[in-house]
Amino acid sequence: MKKEQSIGMKIWTNHYFRFVLFGLMLSMLVPAVSGGILKTSFLGIVGGTIIFTIAALGLNILLGYSGLISLGTAGFMGLGAYISAYVTGDMGLPWEVGILAAVLIPTAIGILVGLASLRMSGLYLGIVTLCISEIFRKTFDELDVITGGFSGKSANYPTLLGMIDLNQKQTYILLVVVLVLVMMLTYNIVHGQMGRAMHVMRGSQVAAQAMGVNILKYRLIAFALSTGYASLAGALYVHFIKFVYPSTWTLMISLTILAIIVIGGLRSIYGTFLGALVVYAMPDLVLKRIPVLGDINGLPYVFSGVLIILIILFYPKGVVNVFSDLKRLFAKLTASKSSAAKDEVPNDVG
């Protein structure tokens, strides 16, 4: 179809516009909470989902595009959180400096990991990154001058430009803004030359090298991006939750982030958010509202565990495909209705 698009259509199909629209939709939560339509706890849940989405987007670049696995996301998130809390709290520097340090230092370490990854692949790489994450976690325990040890470390809501003190709702808006920016950045990266190079690299390293793709460069970039995103998420976490414990950053968090991208759909930006919503927010959003069940200890875990197993078993391509599948189903339904020939519509969403 070569039909000339109207200006309205052009804006509607523009990806940046859609990301901004998505951000606006998420920000609608603040008036909804202020107006008393939704409970305040929703802010915390969706804010947490946004933080996990940012970390998962980084892992999506690494695993989805470059085909490299990392089980060390939690360690880098924790590192970002502690650096930001230390720089803003103990050193008294502005929030912007804190977040910059919290992203740059872990990213530099991430590049080192990328160097090490050149000789490893698959599950060896996964467990070596787990090893790095454990080194961080043990250090969080022991280095109590900086991390506060087992008792944890607190931080405040961010102060923008040294004068604007944010409260929880405004911090939530800040999270949404960062998420939209990160989504745009990710979109540009994966749809540019870099994304194509990573695609080839995932398919076959030898073939990629034969085509002139510099494996070293793109592996390092992929690792730098994923650790940068993870530490950014960690730094946002500490200023949103206002507290950080060493025991948070275990293998479970890394696996949860891995689950987010696999369940949401590899190589999908919106899918990553959907995955975070399913894995992280669903137990809180659904279970806590049911009177008796919500009080049973451990039920949220069972709920998400069963949900994860069922989605992987019956919907392995990721929940992001649910929309296109529904559209196809709908088209099929209307088509069969108009022809009125078939009595049975195959309804294979699974």
Partner 1 sequence: MSTFLQLFLRSIETGAVYALATLGIIVVFRTNLVINFAQGVMGMFGTYVITVLFVRRGLPIVAAIALGLVICVGIGFLVDFFIIRRTKKVDGSGKEIITLGLMMVFVGITPMLFGVDPLKLPKVIETGSFTLGGANLSYNSLLNIIIGLGLTTGLFLLLQKTKLGLAIRSTASNERTARLMGVPTKNITLFAWALAMVLGALAGSMIAPSTSVTVNVMDSVQVNAFIACVLGGFQTFYGPVIGAYIIAVLTNLFSYYISSVWGTQLLYLLIIVFLCIRPVGLIGKKTIKKV
Q: Find out whether 249 and 77 touch, Cβ atoms under 8 Å.
A: yes
Q: What are phi and psi of 153, to 5 degrees?
A: -135, 140
Q: Does 325 bind partner 1 (CB under 8 A)?
A: no
The residue among 181 and 306 lying less far from partner 1, judged by its C-beta, is 306
**Nearer to partner 1 among residue 89 and residue 149 (C-beta):** 149
Q: Which residue, 98 or 114, is less far from partner 1 as judged by CB?
A: 114
Structure tokens, 88 = 């803003």
* Residue 70 touches partner 1, criterion: CB under 8 A: no
Q: Does 290 bind partner 1 (CB under 8 A)?
A: no
Residue 345 touches partner 1, criterion: CB under 8 A: no
Q: What is the Cα 67 distance to its own chain's centre?
A: 17
Residue 207 binds partner 1 (CB under 8 A): yes
136-175: burial string, b at 16+ Cβ within 10 Å, e else: bbebbeeeeeebbeeeebebebbeeeeeeebeebebbbbb
Residues 92-151 contacting partner 1, CB under 8 A: 116, 119-121, 123-124, 126-128, 130-132, 134-135, 138-139, 142
The amino acid at residue 150 is F
List Cβ neighbours of 158 (8 Å cut-off, separation of 6 or more).
88, 95, 166, 171, 174, 239
213 contributes a contact to partner 1 by CB under 8 A? no
**Minimum CB distance to partner 1, residue 71 (Å):** 9
**231 and 74 Cβ atoms separated by less than 8 Å:** no
Check binding of 216 to partner 1 (CB under 8 A). Answer: no
Give me the residues that bind partner 1 (CB under 8 A), please: 63, 69, 116, 119-121, 123-124, 126-128, 130-132, 134-135, 138-139, 142, 204, 206-207, 250-252, 255-256, 258-259, 262-263, 266, 296-309, 312-313, 316
